[in-house]
Amino acid sequence: MRTPFIAGNWKMNLSVKEAVDFLHQLSGKLPDPSETETAIAASPLFLESMVENSGDMPLIVAAENCFYEDSGAYTGETSPLALAKMGVTHVIIGHSERRKYFKETDDIINKKVHAAFRNGLIPIVCCDETMSRRESPDRISWVVSQVTNALKGVTEDQARSIIVAYEPSWAIGSGNIASASEAEEGCYLIRQTIADLYSDDLANDVRVLYGGSVNDENAADILEQNDIDGVLAGGASLKPESFLNLANFLKK
């Protein structure tokens, strides 16, 4: 039985003060983590304050990205070692915006996955799908190759803890959420790829999320799908009320 995972990705929004105010508004309102795990990924500028202010709250504080080296002369990069020492436990890796604007390749993403595990961070690996890819004959191999390349050299123990998000960029920030069957198809494909790489048993333990214009008003059908264990929400995670509605969705 996989525990649902509801995550917000604030991207490059809010300020430290707004982040802390947001957390105060979540206090006492998040679900029991044995029923639903809840996470917010934020800018590295906010993470220390968020870890401090989340206190006893059942909230996972995640980074939106990290570098693949632990330390050194890498101006402007975020150290996975420093994130772990700060109390951050999860990190998004390979978001489509990182692939698009920062030219992250599958090879870089794989190095980042290893850097996360090396430092005890759980990677939330994103799998992109552009509209042109979706409409092309190599659509399936595109999704399969992103998962396969991200997990190169990842052991079974490590893979069991990983979280993968199917995040078609044609749905991100567009207001056009994938249909429940489209989202399920993408998440099923990811799970089958993990089964082929490891085993059915392991793939059954891995949480697969959907992301792309999901909010508290349109999540119902998505969250009912067999292979979708939660969501990674961008815009809908920027308001405490809609984030809380999503986080508590499965209690209703």
Catalytic residues, by residue number, are 95, 167
Size of the site for ligand G3H (CB under 6 A): 14
> 205-224: b or e for each residue (b if 16 or more CB lie within 10 Å)?
ebbbbbbbbbbbeebeebbe
Of the listed pieces 15-23, 147-155, 185-193, 210-218, which binds ligand G3H according to CB under 6 A?
Answer: 210-218
Stretch that binds ligand G3H, among 29-37, 44-52, 76-84, 230-238 (CB under 6 A): 230-238
Interaction between residue 9 and ligand G3H (CB under 6 A): yes
Residue from 7, 177, 169, 175 nearest 101 by CA = 169
Does 233 sit near ligand G3H (CB under 6 A)?
yes
Tell which one of 191, 213, 244, 247 touches ligand G3H (CB under 6 A): 213
Backbone phi, psi, residue 232, to 5°? -120, 105
198 or 247: whose CB is closer to ligand G3H?
A: 247
**Backbone conformation region of residue 220, classed left if phi is above 0, alpha if psi is from -120 to 50, else beta:** alpha
Q: Is residue 235 involved in binding ligand G3H (CB under 6 A)?
A: yes
Taking the C-alpha atoms of residue 26 and residue 175, their distance in angstroms, rounded to an integer, is 25
Position among 39, 203, 234, 249 found at the interface with ligand G3H (CB under 6 A): 234
Whole-number Å distance between alpha carbons of 54 and 31: 14
Q: How far apart are CA 173 and CA 32, in angstroms?
A: 29
The answer to whether 124 touches 232, Cβ cutoff 8 Å, is: yes
Could you give the maximum distance between any two Cα atoms of the chain, in Å? 49
Q: In this complex, which beta carbon is closest to ligand G3H, that of residue 71 or of residue 174?
A: 174
Q: Residue with CB nearest ligand G3H? A: 234
- Separation between Cα atoms, residue 178 and residue 224, nearest integer Å: 14
Nearer to ligand G3H, 117 or 243 (CB): 243
Q: Is 211 in the site for ligand G3H (CB under 6 A)?
A: yes
Of residues 164-183, which lie at the interface with ligand G3H (CB under 6 A)?
A: 167, 172-173
Instruction: Name which position in 212, 223, 227, 247 contacts ligand G3H (CB under 6 A).
Output: 212
Nearer to ligand G3H, 94 or 211 (CB): 211
Rounded to the nearest whole angstrom, what is the least distance from the CB of residue 137 to ligand G3H in the complex? 26
Nearest to 12 by CA among 235, 242, 247, 163: 235
Query: What are the E-state strand segments in the chain?
Result: 5-9, 37-42, 59-63, 90-93, 122-128, 163-167, 207-210, 230-233
* Subset of residues 15 to 54 that bind ligand G3H, contact rule: CB under 6 A: none
Q: Token digits for 142?
A: 């595109």
CB atoms under 10 Å from CB of 79, counted, come to 19
Question: Could you tell me which stretch among 14-22, 50-58, 76-84, 212-220 binds ligand G3H (CB under 6 A)?
Answer: 212-220
CB 171 to ligand G3H: min, Å: 6
Residues of this chain that bind ligand G3H (CB under 6 A): 9, 95, 167, 172-173, 211-214, 232-236
